[in-house]
Homo-oligomer: A and B are copies of this chain.
Amino acid sequence: MKAKVHITLKNGVLDPQGKAIQHSLVSLGFSGVEDVRQGKVIELDLKDQDKAQARADLEKMCKTLLANTVIENYSIELE
């Protein structure tokens, strides 16, 4: 089973990488870019065939390793 986990910084958390991208885009001439935030996508191949079990495992993975829940939000997408 394929799964995607999206990890993004919470609102209010500074994102210097996003700011750097925004400045670069503006200096390349894309002046309409008002804000940029960068996040991560993690694509996983799971052996599990049970969706509920897979979702529970993914929740645990996010909390223990994939996301820093103090400053990041995560969302899980199962295919």
Binding site for B on A (CB under 8 A): 6, 8, 18, 21, 24-25, 28, 30-48, 57, 60-61, 64-66
Contacts and interface: CB of A to CB of B under 8 A. Distances in A.
Copies per complex of this chain: 2
A43 B33 contact: no
A13 to B, nearest CB: 13
A46 B47 CA distance: 40
A44 B36 contact: yes
Contacts of A46: 32-34
A38 B37 CA distance: 17
Contacts of A41: 6, 8, 38-41
Please provide the 5 A-B residue pairs with the shortest distance between their CB atoms, ordered closest to farther: A32-B47, A35-B45, A34-B45, A39-B41, A37-B43
